[in-house]
Structure 1
Amino acid sequence: MPSAATLVRRPHAALAAMLACQVGLHACAQGVRLAAPLNVLAQGRSAWSVGLVMTMFAVFPALLALPAGRLADRRGYHLPVRLAAGCALAGTLLAAATQNLFTLCAAAALSGAGSGFGMIAIQRSASRLAGGDTERLRVFSWIALAPAIAGLFGPMLAGLLIDHAGFSAAFLVLALLPAATLLAAQAVPVEPPRAPAAQAARKASAFGLLRLAPLRRLLFVSWLVSLSWDVHGFALPLLGVERGLSASALGGILAAYAVASMSVRLLMPLLAGRLVRRTLLTAALLLTCAVFGAYPLLRSAWAMAACAAVLGIALGMVQPAIMATLHDLTPPERHGEVLALRSMAIHASMAAMPLMFGVLGSAVGAPVLFWLMAAALGAASVQALRIGPQRG
């Protein structure tokens, strides 16, 4: 196992290993996210059963986020990532062995928890590879590539395997991804022992961090950014149906988002030295606000695809800026806890908001959902201007 000093001498190797670990865990969860509900439907079960399985992906990461963050602060990278990979591995193997509603819910819960648990440890340790503000933005730009890569690779792998080899084979191959994560984690150096400040932080309440006004504003902005993608994913099909768009046209619109998001994340490490984070954050929120305001006014698939591409650019830029600023605003010994607070808010929202979207969508229609989100993002841009001063 590499020594702690290697973290400084070989940051690129450690960063590549962390990126591989997050891709493995996230691609596994995304593959199960496709395979589990399809399996439920193949068994002839109701839409309620599908909803139950999908809820498991968000509920368990929300419940386990705070223990995961504290464990990462206390024990560093390796133990949390091993536990995360173990959860995902157990869930996929259980689903490979037998498929019923219980095992599919367990697979969803364990793979979702593994992805969320691992993400907290990976993001916390990644910040320690950076020597300054510019380098931190660059590091999180690379780390932000992992969900984009996994979001394309995991479902594609699962879909091909389901079509050609069946559900059991799909779950079994998906289990290889967290197994690969365990191997890739060996390239990440072991952290030095905890400092006395970290021991004291263990006794403090994680929610006490919310007394820091800049951090509170940033967590609100982070939640809204996550919510905006959920609204987009929910309301776009409704709007597309109202406009008479085909399923392939809607798929092309979502693909435009994915390509643009991945492209801007590839460019950001090269441009990090020229970017001012608060300006970047505010500009991205205003751009996202404009996209949500324009969507309901569009009629053609090409215009919506252009809007989706702009949204991909905006949200692709904003994620690394949020993560870098989050680490600046928080004491180093409590990075895991603040990442846990962010994860709790996002996953609780993922579990609860679809029902609210459904009620609102039925009551006021998809265009109003877009405009409500635009108004919230406009308010968030004002909060982004007030984030500061940064720590240290």
Structure 2
Amino acid sequence: MFELATSGVDLQDEAALVSGIAELERLKSQAAATQARLSAQLATVRHDAEVAAGVPAARRGRGLAAEIALARHDSPNRGNRHLGFAQALVHEMPHTLKALETGALSEWRATLIVRESACLEVGDRATLDAELCADPGALAGLGDGRIAAAAKAIAYRLDPHAVVDRAVKAEADRCVTIRPAPDNMVYLTALLPMAKGVSVYAALRRAADGNGDGRTRGQLMADALIERITGRPAQTPEPIAVSLVLSDQTLVGGNDPAVVPGFGPVPADIARSLIAAALDTPEVRATLRRLYAHPGSGALVAMESRSRLFPKGLATLIRFRDHSCRTPYCDAPIRHTDHITPATRGGPTSERNGQGTCEACNHNKQAAGWLVAPIDADRHTTELTTPTGHHYRSTAPPVLLGRKPLSPMEKCLFDTLRQQQAA
């Protein structure tokens, strides 16, 4: 692949190397424009087919954005952005599309223009498109911030009420999210109205000023945030449930890492220190729950219920096993515990027939033409088939890492134990 991409490039000529990099960037933009055209055409073809088939208007296009995301190896949540971007470019913003095709815009900068024009009527959006992108040369040298600011300024001039209304409505999107960060850290992010966000940041800076105890400003601000929200000193363990999955060997001194479902592995020494800190703090209660994992694959073993809905314990087991939504490329938190084979078709409420999904992916699976089927029970691997016949596989991650392959005797004993538990 490297040889193909660099064919005809003198690998000892610095100018030729830079030119090659620039040409590949132009090709990336051109590919993004082609993806947009194909996505918009797919939406048109699917819409026409569903109209002909008599699908109710409220159900048309269900799952289409997720199909596009899977084809792009992206999360279903981003599929909505990809589809909206494509339809806006192809049907409403020809100059922005042309600038993307010629490499005057990157895909992200074209996305910024589409985003800032989203609040406008179709006619005003066309005007913004022409003013900003009719001359691709005028875009040269503009970074992300200047592109977004220019689009926002034109949008405000064309329809100030629409821009203000969008800003007011945006307050409804305020939220707090969490995602894993390297080295056993997390990103805790708050999306707030500008004035409120600035005041929060200023208050944390004030709390950090004048404190000369050796901590950096960033550390002081982070500790102040913890203390103001929890009402407890930053170094005090919190009396909340943090699910730390580890083997008995790790608990007593082994080196296999533990796992926090949804966040990833935790070094054994750190896991033991977390447990020790909890046990040494009187107001914090630490509990142990036994989970049995396959000694070869690390997958959790079977558990079954006669209930139509997944009982709390079984749902917890599945969340521990899957970590996050099981749709390929989707890292969203698990919100639903779903039957792989629907209960209406006789699917049991069991660990093998259960999977964790986010809300959006569970709803996509209900659309016509979607199918999930198990193909490997030991590793809990499923195959997702989309309405266009494309296939995507998903395997539950090993709960405990560092497992050795099973010997024939160990496999026989484990299979017997699993059969007994499922009986």
Band of TM-score, shorter chain: under 0.3
| Greater RCO, CA 8 A, separation 6+ | 1
Greater C-alpha Rg: 2
Higher helix share: 1
Higher strand share: 2
